[in-house]
Structure 1
Amino acid sequence: MCIHSPWFTLPPSPAADGAIPLMPASRKEDPFSPHDDDTEQYTDIGTALSLCDGDNAIHHLASLRYFGVSATPLTSEGLKKLLGRLQSLRHLAIYLNYAKEFRTIGCLGELKHLARVTVHTCPSITSLHGIECSTSLTEINLTSCINLSSITSLVTLPTLRSLRINGCAAVAPSPFMEAILYSPPASSSSDEGETNRRALQRLSYLQLSELDNNCDNLSALRFLPLLTALDLHLTATDNNAVVVIAKNCVHLQALSLAECFVISEIEPLAALPYLSHLLLRNTTISDASLRRFCEGVPPSLRVLDISECDDITDCCCVTSIETLTRINAQGTRVTAESVYELVKDTVTMDNTPRTMGVSLETVDLRGCTQLKNISSLFAGRR
């Protein structure tokens, strides 16, 4: 089992009354998992053009709704011309495009029905200018676009619900946060009307991960009223940022701080009342900081990942979290005595569940080198 994953399944659309949507039961097991309800088949460029020739090919392209381009040397101008034929397009995926002339995807803003965009490993992309014209995009995935530096064009997208920026090392998230912070409030009047309201009002999932630049101005997150999941794994997020997140993201249900190596204190996160999934893989939290967190943790926490945290030797304090169903302590230095205290009231030696104790269903202890004598602690126990 591996609880940590840098993906997320979208929560439901915002309710008409503006209430914060809760994750449906089918997605509570792993809110960072890929879409499991997307059964549409993408048609790649080779398939589309081989289906028919001449005018028939053009007609076929015009009717496509799901389209993928992989390992094709497509230029920005070529993409613009192609999209001129794809006016019904809803989902677009571009993978492994190393063409030097493929520098922008701003022309996507011209498609009236485009809802989902995935751009993966396109190192020549440097600009998103023009994409802000879109009035239909709900999900944007940008992965390993290593020369993309600015994402501020995305701030004004009125329908965006999911934004994933992963491995785009040159992206500077601070200007993006500043753009959110200083965007016009929803009540302001403007000639542009509804499109000039506070930025990203519908955003429910935000991923800014594997970035080289610091992510400052996280206080801007308070202006994202429907944000329920935040993924900052493998960034320079520190203890001060943890305090800011706890103060400004009161509706968070899922938070990944995995591989944020300098984080050592998580007690402020206990103030998040709806938190159900917390991923802390490979951070520097200690037994003491984990204990302080568990003393005030909200009654909603179900999944806790503390794997590869070298300073963790005692995890029995999590027994105070009555709602916890999964804990990943893989690769930690937890002792046999600690594990015994964790599971002794949960199951018997023949794996028969007990009715008392925490509601743990899964405990991952792979790679825990201090558990050599654990069998002796359970010897003869029924």
Structure 2
Amino acid sequence: MATVEEPIRVLLVDDDPDLGAVTSMHLERQDDAFETQVTHSAAEALDVLDGDVDCVVSDYEMPEQDGLDLLREVREYDATVPFVLFTGRGSEEIASEAISAGVTDYLQKGTGTDQYAVLANRIRNAVAHRRSAEAAAETESRYQTLVESSPNAILVHDGEAIRYANERLVELAGAADADEVFGCDPVSLVHPEDRERLADRVDRVLRDRESAGWLSWRLRRFDGGIRRVESRAAPVVFEGVRASQVVLRDVTDRYCREQRLEALHDATRRLLVAGDRGTVADVALDVVENVFDESVAVVWEYDSGDDSLAPLAATENATRIAEKAGLEAGVSPLPDWAVEMTVFEAGDSRVVEEYGDRDDAVTDAFETVFMYPLGEHGLLAIGSTDPRTFDDAERDLVGILARSVAATFDRLESGE
């Protein structure tokens, strides 16, 4: 017998008032949870039917509209509310028609009180089943809302196919839409060199039903691009099938920053053994080009005698753009009105936007220039021919490089 702790509101429909009253009495005696309301026709039942009714129990033979007519109208109102046909007239034809109309249960009236115990049990089970289904649907709805609003990418797979993916996963994978993701082999999203490493985790989650903690690997997007991700997985049952729910977070930016920091540490070691200012400038530009992926950069050296900045070293692309703009190769010193001199004298880094439109710019070939003073020794300038911004992370990394370069110039100047 199913246990339902909440009140169960039962709508009884019987054209015989005495039978309706007897049924009501016995049901409430069977279980204190039952709250019955008796009506004597289909029309009356429909008038009082509302969303609070947990179960309809109806006689079959009634004037004007019989129990099957009522069942059809109730189903139009609510397709899931339990409906028990409790009738003194039984036949295979009526039972078949009732089933076709969506009856929950079919029970013939008998003699004695045992029939009410059976009826009460059928009602309890039907209501418990409906409430369980509603709770599951509500839980699924809440889960869906939570998953869709998650900042992390989430997918569910059964080892052979992706069965669910939220919008963030679709974006991370570079898919056109969710349909492109659904049904595809989850292994296809893993970089070939990382697949063996993830295979054991998949087995543990799907076969052994064990959760797996965060692991870093490379995700291969649908467009062929690669993103660094971290993922964790947990066993779930999805649509009745054993599956794995995988939560992914994109750590590409963090990974790139860590790689850049490592490269900066390596550059610092190279600067420690640099024997002249030209070598120091070359190391700095090598980092700018190969670590920061910036192809336009100049290390300006300050000449205290002339109170001017002159190029100590420049990237090939910076030289090419300068020559194309009509500047003489290695033009120096900069005029004292140049914005580079202003930034150097102020001693604070600065991103100069719309550089080419300024009156204190030496050329209109650049749109944005990031300038970082090298202490008293000069200036590191990184330029772009397109409008852009340098975010805080980029500024911090350039700052680390610039301070290392300035410290190396200090060492060379002191003769250590």
TM-score over 0.5 for the pair:
no
Relative to total residues, which structure has the larger helix share, 1 or 2? 2
Look at both structures and tell me which one has the larger radius of gyration over its CA atoms: 2
More strand by share: 2
Q: TM-score, normalised by structure 2?
A: 0.18
